[in-house]
């Protein structure tokens, strides 16, 4: 038998605060949310997250519909990243996001130039994450507080234009035979590096 996740209908007298959703109180809350947000409306959860999102951003190039974007959005939500930026094609496969895209701000930019202009206006340092010739190890780098970590696509990696726009490119140490790890896995490691340096 498959065990249901979440909680069933609210037991006892209903709370009357605005952040509670009457339908969830009545039917139960089976969403993949932390216990603190059980029975809360989507809007109330987003508003609460907005009060305590971290100041770093992440971006991924999407010229060929990269399948990692969903997992990057999910990880960004888990780490309360300010925003996820998608550079290139607007459409992306939401399956891997497991609905977290509803709680995460995702912004689209048509070109690298538009994206870097936006970062400049926002005062963010643009850092590439890739294992290219001039990369420095992320393990010993100090990440700025206000920054955006930019990931490349499966296959080509960071485009030349994106690399040129990055103040620095950081690599994740590898020890096996594969040239690279999956972009979603690399994004999780890089985001957690920022968290270890600034949020814990
Ligand atoms: C599958 S990799 C492809 C490019 C890679 N430069 C290569 O030579 O195969 C796709 C993306 O994942 C991330 N990535 C994968 N392995 C990485 C590593 N060891 N260090 C930093 N980023 C990595 C980067 O953002 C990269 O652009």
Give residue limits of the domains in the chain: 7-52, 57-198
Q: How confident is the model at residue 130 (pLDDT cuts 50, 70, 90)?
A: very high
Tokens (6 digits) for 92:
């992306």
Domain 57-198, CATH among 3.40.50.150, 3.40.1280.10, 3.30.365.10, 1.20.210.10: 3.40.1280.10
Which position has the token pair 């994106």? 162
pLDDT of 78: 97
Does the pLDDT of residue 1 top 80, yes or no? no
**Pocket lining: 157 vs ligand 1, CB cutoff 6 Å:** yes
CB 72 within 8 A of CB 100: no
Tell me the average pLDDT across 71-76.
96
In this prediction, residue 97 carries a pLDDT of 83
- Could you identify the residue written with the tokens 């007298």? 13
Neighbours of 92 (CB within 10 A): 24
Q: List, in order, residues 6 or more apart from 35 with CB less than 8 Å away.
A: none
Question: Which pLDDT score is estimated for 54?
Answer: 98
At residue 92, the pLDDT reads: 82
pLDDT for position 154:
87
Closest ligand 1 atom to residue 132 Cα is: 6
Does residue 46 carry a pLDDT above 80? yes
CA-nearest residue for atom 5, ligand 1, is 157
Pocket test for ligand 1, best of 152, 168, 179, 189 (most atoms within 8 A of CB): 152
For the stretch 84-110, pLDDT in tens is 999 999 888 888 888 888 999 999 999
Q: Where are the alpha helices (DSSP H) in 105-200?
A: 112-122, 160-165, 183-198
Residue in 86, 127, 143, 157 to alter for ligand 1 test, most ligand atoms within 8 A of Cβ: 157
Instruction: With CA atoms as reference, report the closest residue to 78 among 109, 47, 99.
Output: 99
More confident call, 158 vs 93 = 158
The answer for 157, left when phi > 0, alpha when psi is -120 to 50, beta otherwise, is left
* H/E element, 22: helix 22-27
Quote the pLDDT of residue 99.
85
Looking from the CA of 88 toward its CB, the CA atoms found within 13 Å total 18
Give the C-alpha separation, 73 to 81, whole Å.
9
Cβ count within 10 A of residue 159:
17
Percent of the chain with pLDDT over 90: 86
Distance CA 19, CA 41 (A): 6
């Amino acid at each position: 038998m498959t065990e249901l996740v979440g909680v069933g209908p609210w037991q006892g007298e209903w709370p009357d605060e605005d952040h509670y959703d009457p339908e969830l109180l009545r039917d139960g809350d089976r969403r993949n949310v932390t216990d603190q947000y059980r029975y809360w409306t989507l809007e109330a959860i987003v508003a609460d997250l907005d009060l305590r999102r971290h100041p770093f951003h992440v971006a991924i190039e999407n010229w060929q519909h990269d399948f990692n974007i969903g997992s990057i959005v999910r990880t960004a939500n888990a780490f309360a990243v300010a925003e996820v930026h998608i550079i290139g094609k607007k459409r992306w496969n939401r399956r891997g996001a497991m609905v977290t895209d509803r709680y995460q701000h995702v912004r689209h930019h048509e070109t690298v130039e538009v994206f870097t202009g936006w970062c400049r206006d926002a005062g963010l340092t643009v850092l590439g994450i890739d294992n290219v010739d001039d990369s420095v190890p992320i393990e010993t780098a100090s990440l700025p507080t206000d920054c955006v970590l930019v990931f490349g696509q499966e296959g080509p990696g960071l485009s030349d234009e994106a690399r040129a726009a990055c103040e620095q490119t950081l690599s994740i140490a590898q020890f096996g035979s594969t040239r690279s790890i999956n972009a979603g896995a690399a994004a999780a490691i890089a985001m957690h590096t920022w968290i270890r340096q600034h949020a814990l």
